[in-house]
Chain A
């Protein structure tokens, strides 16, 4: 199953990549492959912007504008004039 392409929020800088493979290890949608000792985002249209790769890349080779793809959170954010929020951690809120 594929969703809309996330190319505008996903940046990969091959020069900084050392090919350590951490991104391959953490990506839940198999976006990366190691090719010629460097990571290659071969399936970037599968990216769901969870941010796992960027958070775990020690070399700053990856930038992801991360977030949770939840319509309820986006709408709540629109209504409150804030960033998307689903109140997951609140005591009364419903969860994503």
Chain B
């Protein structure tokens, strides 16, 4: 497909150009004092501290209950899109001109992990504008990037606050940052700290070096478990259409749509749907390393098929309808579980783009074929049910 540029009608020429027309927001020098004024109601705001270069907002290193609730909301809902803070320079404790500068994203979970890890220290935090996205995702897109870092160093005038020229970045910010370019442009040398903010104190103790353990990204069962609510949240929106379709299918009679008996038989399809979601979005992520094969589509397919067959074995719910229905359910919902598991690639810490492309190349035709076959089987099942077969 080729995209044509949209021809926009230009407004009549006028000597006065308003900021909204020139396409850029009005340039405003954001001073720490301005920020502080806005921060009065922020839960982490601990007051303003005076430094020779001017006042800087100080952040608390304690995570309050309301903030913990915010963390849970960010993990489970679209609230995470709003869970951000203003970019700029902040202080932990009472930093002086020789104190370390830690760089992070303006997503609250990133910021909160960092400030908690800096408890009892005197340090600076430089928050970049990543549009409220976490460090690693933003680095992948370049918003936690070289340009933004250079811009933020200049906007905050950080050179006035410190005498050294060293920034400590989270290691996972590295995909977006060209350290050499930052040094050429600003004079700041970059050090990449540990992957997890929790290791910062150990990193400093070891003379500002991250050992192999600190540099390695893991993907523990706990790491995977916290991602599950968001996986389900994304499916939730589509579930209502599926339930409607399931009832509609069950209500189809030669005389028309009759909902009288649909509720009981519709539940069989809905049960299969719920099993496939549980298999693809919960079991597959949790048991990830224990399910055979590297492909997520295959992993999800295996989990889905096994879960469906166990339920069938215990209840006979699918085969009791008829053999066509049974086959259709197994094919369709195994593939749905597989597809859901494939979506989990976006949340993992180790999948590559080339690998995902490879998976999609092989699985997409299977999904399409399977969808057609199971649709035909469901139609045959219906005709059989009506007694025409």
Q: Which residues of A contact B (CB under 8 A)?
A: 1-4, 6, 8-9, 22, 24-30, 46-52, 55-56, 58, 65-75, 78, 80-81, 84, 86, 88-89, 91, 94-96
Chain B residue contacts of A91, Cβ below 8 A: 81
Which residues of chain B from 212 to 244 have any CB-CB distance to chain A below 8 Å in the complex?
Answer: 212, 215-217, 219, 234
Q: Is the CB of B192 within 8 A of A9?
A: no
Q: Is the CB of A28 within 8 A of B141?
A: no
Chain A residue contacts of B380, Cβ below 8 A: none
Complexed CA–CA distance, A28 and B349 (Å): 9
Complexed CA–CA distance, A1 and B296 (Å): 12
A71-B359, A74-B356 in contact; A28/B346 too (CB < 8 A)?
no
Q: Is the CB of B175 within 8 A of A71?
A: no
Q: Is the CB of A71 within 8 A of B140?
A: no
Q: Is the CB of A22 within 8 A of B350?
A: no
Q: Which of B87-95, B119-127, B177-185, B323-331 contacts A (4 or more CB under 8 A)?
A: B177-185
Q: Is the CB of B234 within 8 A of A68?
A: no
Chain A residue contacts of B179, Cβ below 8 A: 22, 56, 58
Q: Is the CB of A68 within 8 A of B133?
A: no
Q: Is the CB of B350 within 8 A of A68?
A: no
* Secondary structure of the A contact surface, majority rule: loop
Complexed CA–CA distance, A88 and B347 (Å): 13
CB nearest neighbor in B for A28: B217
Complexed CA–CA distance, A95 and B79 (Å): 12
Q: Which residues of B contact A (CB under 8 A)?
A: 1, 78, 80-81, 131, 133, 137-141, 143, 171-172, 174-180, 192, 195, 210, 212, 215-217, 219, 234, 288-289, 294-296, 342-343, 345-360
Q: Is the CB of A29 within 8 A of B133?
A: no
Complexed CA–CA distance, A3 and B355 (Å): 7
Complexed CA–CA distance, A50 and B142 (Å): 11
Q: Is the CB of A67 within 8 A of B346?
A: no
Q: Is the CB of A30 within 8 A of B342?
A: no
For the complex of A and B, 10 pairs with smallest distance between CB atoms? A67-B353, A70-B346, A69-B351, A52-B174, A4-B355, A26-B174, A28-B217, A81-B1, A49-B352, A52-B175
Interchain nearest-CB distance for A88 vs B (Å): 6
CB nearest neighbor in A for B213: A30
Complexed CA–CA distance, A83 and B94 (Å): 46
Chain A residue contacts of B210, Cβ below 8 A: 25
Q: Is the CB of A96 within 8 A of B140?
A: yes
Complexed CA–CA distance, A18 and B353 (Å): 28
Complexed CA–CA distance, A8 and B353 (Å): 12
Chain B residue contacts of A51, Cβ below 8 A: 175
A1-B288, A50-B140 in contact; A67/B215 too (CB < 8 A)?
no
Complexed CA–CA distance, A49 and B179 (Å): 18
Q: Is the CB of A1 within 8 A of B140?
A: no
Interchain nearest-CB distance for B198 vs A (Å): 16
CB nearest neighbor in A for B357: A74
Q: Is the CB of A89 within 8 A of B143?
A: yes
Complexed CA–CA distance, A65 and B354 (Å): 9
Q: Is the CB of A1 within 8 A of B178?
A: no
Chain A residue contacts of B358, Cβ below 8 A: 4
Q: Is the CB of A71 within 8 A of B345?
A: yes
Cross-chain contact of B141 among A4, A6, A27, A88 (Cβ < 8 A): A88
CB nearest neighbor in B for A89: B131
Complexed CA–CA distance, A73 and B288 (Å): 21
Chain A residue contacts of B351, Cβ below 8 A: 3, 48, 69-70
Q: Can you list 29 contacts pairing A with B, beta carbon distance less than 8 Å? A: A1-B219, A3-B294, A3-B355, A4-B352, A4-B355, A4-B359, A9-B352, A26-B171, A29-B216, A30-B212, A30-B215, A49-B352, A49-B354, A51-B175, A52-B175, A55-B177, A55-B178, A56-B174, A56-B179, A56-B180, A68-B353, A69-B353, A70-B346, A74-B356, A74-B357, A88-B137, A89-B141, A94-B234, A96-B137
Chain B residue contacts of A71, Cβ below 8 A: 296, 342-343, 345-346, 356, 359-360
Q: Is the CB of A6 within 8 A of B176?
A: no
Complexed CA–CA distance, A30 and B352 (Å): 15
Chain B residue contacts of A96, Cβ below 8 A: 137, 140, 346-347
